[in-house]
Amino acid sequence: MVPSCYVHIPFCDSICAYCDFVRIQKNEQFFSNWKEKLIQEIQGYKITNLHTLYFGGGTPSLLSISDFASIRNCFPKDIDEFTVECNPESLDEDKLKSYVDLGVNRISLGVQSFNDDLLEVCHRKHTASQAISVIERIQKSSLSTFSIDLIFGLPNQTMEDVKKDISTFLSLDIPHLSIYSLQIEENSIFGKTGVEPCDSDLEADMFEYITKTLEAAGYIHYEISSFCKPGHYSKHNLAYWQDKDFYGFGCGASGRINGIRYDNTSSLKKYCSLGPCPSYINETLSERAMDAIMMALRTKFGLNMKEWNLKYQNDFKVHYASVLDKYRAYFCFDGECIFLNDAGLEILNTILVDFMLIE
Ligand code: SF4
């Protein structure tokens, strides 16, 4: 059984300055064809059982409730974790109630910053106070959990700004945070207009402050960019990090079935006329084994070496003995699991390069 499913909703009201995801301004010309093709794609798999379902984008909360329901109803009724990504300006009281009625039990809210000037720099269409009102609305609903996204390292953002964002986050008593450093992507508005990345020392100081402050407040830093209160892990994201299969449906979605990754077309025009047109990624067993290591070491749960050895027909400790020795101060072991300590997570990319150099 494939335990998880990601559905990509590629439409946005406007385009944020840092974004290079597959997204397009909502377009009536394509919408009904897109919806029809998406429903056909999902129904082709006749899914009867699902552990986690995630509607991401784009901006899923832009969909009307009837459109949302017609896509949602292609899936089984009972799903352990059903997350919808929302933007504050498109999540009103009625929509939130309808989501709950349709089995959604987790919202991931794109807040990005609680500073109105920085929100404007990012071309976000909401203010900080709008985001706070939506957070309070979610807290009053019967949703069992929710998350917000924040970004740090934004143009001209100071350490003081980061401290204020974290302090506002903590004052709102939110169960989960995904926090990312700004990456200047070539195809984003920032990339095209020559915005400079944040100074790397300042960015490292910001991240250290974020990590220490959230941990001191009782949050678990369970993945490089993810913090939660006990019991509020993102089960869906854990499926990616723990080397599980997942369906990816929709224009611009990626999935993995029987260990084989695929990317659906990112051309909305092509998707609307021909459907998903997946390209399968031809990975060798050792490439898949490396993917599993890269994902698992992002998390505090690390890699289960016994399972990895069985699945990838290798001996982790023997094969990577030189890397384990070189970074021995950064690795921790717990039974069959190996994981990185906080200092190791800070240099994860450097460590992974050394893993990749081993044939
Ligand atoms: S960040 Fe989200 S809301 Fe903004 S353009 Fe990208 S997908 Fe759309």
Domains of the chain, residue spans: 4-240, 284-359
How high does pLDDT run on average in the chain? 96
Q: What is the predicted pLDDT for the residue at 25?
A: 79
Structure tokens belonging to residue 91: 């999540």
Neighbours of 156 (CB within 10 A): 10
Q: What is the predicted pLDDT for the residue at 57?
A: 93
Confidence check: pLDDT of 27 > 80: no
Verify whether ligand 1 is closer than 6 Å to residue 23 (CB atom). yes
Q: What CATH topology corresponds to 4-240?
A: TIM Barrel (3.20.20)
Task: Determine which residue's CA is closest to atom 4 belonging to ligand 1.
Answer: 16
Ligand 1 centre distance from Cα of residue 19 (Å): 6
163-193 residue pLDDT tens: 999 999 999 999 999 999 999 999 999 999 9
What is the average pLDDT across 238-261? 96
Q: What is the predicted pLDDT for the residue at 251?
A: 96
206-232 residue pLDDT tens: 999 999 999 999 999 999 999 999 999
**228: Cβ–Cβ under 8 A, 6 or more apart, which residues?**
147, 175, 176, 177, 219, 220, 222, 234
DSSP helix/strand/coil, 12: strand
Q: Are strands 337-340 and 303-304 parallel, antiparallel or unpaired?
A: antiparallel
Q: Which of 6, 7, 12 to mutate to test the pocket of ligand 1 (most atoms within 8 A of CB)?
A: 12
Q: What is the predicted pLDDT for the residue at 342?
A: 87
Query: In CATH, what class is 284-359?
Result: mainly alpha
Verify whether ligand 1 is closer than 6 Å to residue 12 (CB atom). yes
Q: What is the predicted pLDDT for the residue at 26?
A: 76
- Rounded to an integer, what distance in angstroms lies between the CA atom of residue 332 and that of residue 339? 5
Confidence check: pLDDT of 52 > 90: yes
131-168 residue pLDDT tens: 999 999 999 999 989 999 999 999 999 999 999 999 99
Q: Which of 6, 8, 15, 182 to mutate to test the pocket of ligand 1 (most atoms within 8 A of CB)?
A: 15
- Rounded to an integer, what distance in angstroms lies between the CA atom of residue 147 and that of residue 175? 6
* Helices 65-72 & 93-101 angle (0-180, nearest 10): 20
Q: Which of ligand 1's atoms lies nearest the C-alpha of 112?
A: 1
- Rounded to an integer, what distance in angstroms lies between the CA atom of residue 321 and that of residue 231? 34
- Rounded to an integer, what distance in angstroms lies between the CA atom of residue 196 and that of residue 228? 31
Helix (H) or strand (E) holding 56: strand 52-57
Percent over 90 (pLDDT), the chain: 94
Q: How many residues does the chain have?
A: 359
Q: Which of 7, 14, 16, 118 to mutate to test the pocket of ligand 1 (most atoms within 8 A of CB)?
A: 16
Ligand 1 centre distance from Cα of residue 124 (Å): 9
